[in-house]
């Protein structure tokens, strides 16, 4: 595991990708693209109709036999997609439940607590053992940071199966973040059990998505969480810092967090109550139908709150050590982006079903990082070089991380096993955002048409990106920079060209159906393609070539 600081996730990638693409990009009115394309399609369809009619008439005169219609590339509307701006309903089934009693202790930089976890065997196999992920232990390895960041193995104690009593655990010999728990009594398919455990995790002193830096605690992927059981085995892909390997089930969380009294806390959930205690304050949160729970806490946070499209949005930054002396423009741009992201994405993918979103501007290694209902944005984008061009880098990064609320949060996937489904689809949401907002950010980010990009439906042009293909493979099967460039840029181009060949409204309908069908579950590339082909049919040659050239999943 090697840390590649600076080319992690979202926006830094975007900046580099943009420069790499610069020779191919033009700017212009994006609306022309959509309207122009539709006009061409309409004309083409009409021509096809005329030809078909002419052929039919001619044939009728000579044989009197009906002629089958010529195949066209018109979408066959294999389903009625949900309407634009449709409501995304929470599931009615019983879901996993975590009851967490947590304490953040800044005196020794630990987060600890007790977890009572109710869950069931959601597979068709009997579970003799459980696999948990304990990502916080990975920071005990300081070799990748080159300095003492004060990480440590997480202490896990008092593991108890409500059915049989105390259990023990073992760390995987090849990966300290993989915890194996042998069950004394197997868990049958559909059977529920309650597992309780205590844990104490060290918070490393590092400016990253998990860690404390300049008084801000980013507490993410910090507690032992059940891994996914898929296709007869527990999924436990290696963690990698330049991407993700997080993969979990939609759950309900009831959480209390004790912090010092002067701390501001934001979380994946919504605050229910607060109570002063002898050595601090205890906040209570509910987070329903999320696939992880994270929080950020600090006594140096400035917090500003506004309503954007009916969602309570909190924007936070370090008031004692801000990246620039005047944060007002960045904060204003962040709220503006939240408002427009909700407008654009609600319409395109279905309405954000939660009540809150927290945007934490903090120094992290990536451009940004997404968690359920909470995103962390690199506060470097608030100052210096990145403030040029009206903070558009900040804007695109915030839009990208909000896009993840649909493609990671609502529809989950195996982010390490099929990273394109997570990052390419979310990178495409940047284009949805830019197209919605229009103006200079659209001019600077949207190609006018696929003519400005390599045509990925053309095998010879696609071959220029051959190192990135197939896109639908695990992170560790990409070599070098091919992962970052492939899943963030080439995958975005592929989806953009799917959008072009189906039409933007039609492609959004496909994505709405995908969200509707797989909301609050984990989807796969096969699931995505199934929806796509159900809608588009199998006779769209451009689409078929795009899929064949870029992906390996067959349908």
Contacting residues toward Zn ion, per CB under 5 A: 10, 423, 426
Instruction: CB nearer to Zn ion: give 9 or 102.
Output: 9
Pairing type for strands 192-202 and 264-267 reads unpaired
Q: How far is the CB of 157 from Zn ion (least distance, A)?
A: 35
Instruction: CB nearer to Zn ion: give 280 or 412.
Output: 412
Residue 11 parent element (H or E): helix 10-21
DSSP state of 140: G
Closest C-alpha to 418, from 464, 486, 371: 486
Query: For residue 42, what are its two tokens?
Result: 């309409």
Helix axes 419-437, 388-403, angle to 10 degrees: 130
Q: How far is the CB of 393 from Zn ion (least distance, A)?
A: 14
The secondary structure of 233-282 as a DSSP string is EE--PPP-TTS-------EEEEEEEEE-TT-EEEESSEEEEEEEETTEEE
Instruction: CB nearer to Zn ion: give 254 or 423.
Output: 423
Q: How far is the CB of 182 from Zn ion (least distance, A)?
A: 36
Q: How far is the CB of 233 from Zn ion (least distance, A)?
A: 27
Closest C-alpha to 220, from 206, 232, 230: 206
Instruction: CB nearer to Zn ion: give 102 or 366.
Output: 366
Query: For residue 462, what are its two tokens?
Result: 């696609």
What are the distances in angstroms from CA 223 to CA 133, 154, 189, 266, 357?
Answer: 8, 9, 25, 17, 22
Q: How far is the CB of 471 from Zn ion (least distance, A)?
A: 15
Residue 333 parent element (H or E): helix 328-349
Instruction: CB nearer to Zn ion: give 130 or 431.
Output: 431
Q: Is the dihedral of CA 29, 35, 38, 44 positive or negative?
A: negative
What are the distances in angstroms from CA 289 to CA 20, 32, 131, 326, 372?
Answer: 39, 40, 21, 37, 9
Instruction: CB nearer to Zn ion: give 187 or 515.
Output: 515
Q: How far is the CB of 515 from Zn ion (least distance, A)?
A: 17
Instruction: CB nearer to Zn ion: give 373 or 426.
Output: 426
- Residues 142-168: b if buried by 16+ CB within 10 A, e if exposed: eeebeeebbbbbbebeebebeeeeebe
Q: How far is the CB of 400 from Zn ion (least distance, A)?
A: 6
Helix axes 504-518, 419-437, angle to 10 degrees: 130
Q: How far is the CB of 358 from Zn ion (least distance, A)?
A: 17
- Residues 353-384: b if buried by 16+ CB within 10 A, e if exposed: bbebbbbbbbbbbbbbbbbbbbbbbbbbbbbe
Q: How far is the CB of 460 from Zn ion (least distance, A)?
A: 30
Q: How far is the CB of 488 from Zn ion (least distance, A)?
A: 8
Q: How far is the CB of 368 from Zn ion (least distance, A)?
A: 7
Instruction: CB nearer to Zn ion: give 298 or 426.
Output: 426
Q: Under 8 Å CB-to-CB from 512, ≥6 apart: which residues?
A: 81, 82, 84, 86, 348, 349, 350
Residue/partner pairs of 278-281 with CB below 8 Å, 24 or more apart: none
Angle 238-239-244 (CA atoms, 0-180°, nearest 5)? Answer: 120
Residue 60: CB atoms within 10 A of its CB come to 12
Instruction: CB nearer to Zn ion: give 322 or 416.
Output: 416
Instruction: CB nearer to Zn ion: give 104 or 408.
Output: 408
Q: How far is the CB of 487 from Zn ion (least distance, A)?
A: 9
Write down how long the chain is.
555
Instruction: CB nearer to Zn ion: give 322 or 409.
Output: 409
Query: For residue 294, what are its two tokens?
Result: 């994270």
Instruction: CB nearer to Zn ion: give 176 or 484.
Output: 484
Q: Using the structure block, give the residue that is written with the tokens 């048409």.
A: 449
Pairing type for strands 356-362 and 374-378 reads parallel
Instruction: CB nearer to Zn ion: give 292 or 423.
Output: 423
Q: How far is the CB of 14 from Zn ion (least distance, A)?
A: 10
Instruction: CB nearer to Zn ion: give 226 or 484.
Output: 484
Q: How far is the CB of 426 from Zn ion (least distance, A)?
A: 5
Helix axes 525-536, 504-518, angle to 10 degrees: 130
Q: Under 8 Å CB-to-CB from 418, ≥6 apart: which residues?
A: 472, 473, 474, 524, 525
């Amino acid at each position: 595991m090697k840390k590649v600081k600076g080319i992690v996730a979202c926006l830094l990638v975007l900046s580099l990708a943009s420069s790499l693409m610069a020779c191919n990009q033009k700017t212009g009115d994006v609306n022309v693209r959509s309207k122009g394309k539709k006009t061409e399609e309409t004309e083409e369809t009409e021509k096809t109709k005329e030809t078909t009619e002419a052929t039919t008439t001619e044939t009728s005169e000579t044989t009197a036999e009906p002629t089958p219609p010529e195949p066209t590339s018109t979408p066959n509307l294999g389903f009625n997609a949900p309407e634009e701006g449709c409501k995304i309903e929470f599931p009615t089934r019983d879901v996993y439940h975590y009851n967490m009693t947590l304490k953040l202790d800044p005196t020794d930089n630990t987060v600890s607590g007790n977890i009572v976890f109710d869950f069931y065997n959601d597979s068709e196999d009997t579970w003799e053992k459980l696999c948990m992920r304990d990502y916080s232990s990975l920071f005990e390895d300081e070799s990748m940071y080159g300095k003492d960041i004060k990480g440590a193995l997480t202490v896990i104690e008092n593991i108890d199966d409500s059915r049989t009593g105390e259990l023990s655990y073992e760390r995987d010999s090849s990966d300290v973040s993989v915890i194996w728990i042998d069950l004394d009594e197997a868990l049958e398919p559909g059977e529920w059990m309650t597992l309780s455990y205590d844990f104490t995790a060290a918070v490393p002193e590092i400016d990253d998505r998990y860690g404390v830096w300049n008084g801000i605690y980013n507490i993410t992927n910090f507690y032992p969480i059940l891994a996914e059981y898929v296709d007869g085995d527990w999924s436990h892909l290696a963690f990698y810092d330049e991407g993700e390997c997080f993969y979990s089930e939609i759950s309900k969380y009831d959480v209390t967090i004790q912090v010092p009294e002067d701390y501001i806390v934001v979380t994946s959930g919504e605050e229910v109550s607060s109570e002063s205690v002898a050595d601090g304050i205890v906040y209570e949160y509910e987070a329903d139908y999320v696939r992880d729970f994270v929080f950020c806490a600090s006594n140096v946070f400035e917090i500003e709150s506004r309503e954007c499209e009916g969602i309570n949005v909190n924007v936070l930054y370090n008031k004692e050590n801000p990246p620039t002396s005047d944060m007002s423009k960045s904060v204003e741009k962040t709220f503006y982006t939240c408002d427009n992201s909700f407008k654009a994405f609600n319409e395109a993918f279905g309405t954000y079903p939660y009540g809150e979103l927290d945007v934490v501007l903090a120094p992290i290694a990536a451009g940004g990082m997404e968690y359920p209902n909470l995103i962390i944005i690199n506060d470097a984008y608030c100052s210096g070089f990145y403030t040029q061009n009206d903070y558009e880098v900040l804007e695109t990064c915030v839009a990208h991380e909000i896009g993840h609320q649909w493609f990671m949060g609502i529809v989950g996937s195996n982010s390490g096993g099929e990273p394109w489904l997570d990052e390419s689809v979310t990178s495409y949401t940047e284009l949805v955002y830019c197209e919605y907002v229009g103006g200079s950010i659209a001019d600077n980010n949207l190609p006018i048409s696929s003519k400005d990009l390599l045509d990925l439906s053309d095998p010879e042009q696609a071959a220029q990106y051959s190192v990135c293909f197939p896109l639908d493979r695990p992170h560790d099967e990409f070599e070098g920079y091919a992962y970052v460039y492939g899943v963030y840029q080439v995958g975005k181009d592929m989806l953009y060209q799917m959008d072009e060949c189906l039409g933007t409204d039609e492609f959004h309908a496909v994505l709405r159906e995908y969200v509707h069908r797989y909301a609050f579950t984990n989807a796969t590339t096969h699931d995505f393609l199934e929806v796509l082909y159900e809608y588009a049919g199998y006779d769209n040659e451009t689409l078929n070539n795009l899929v064949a050239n870029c992906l390996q999943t067959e349908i």
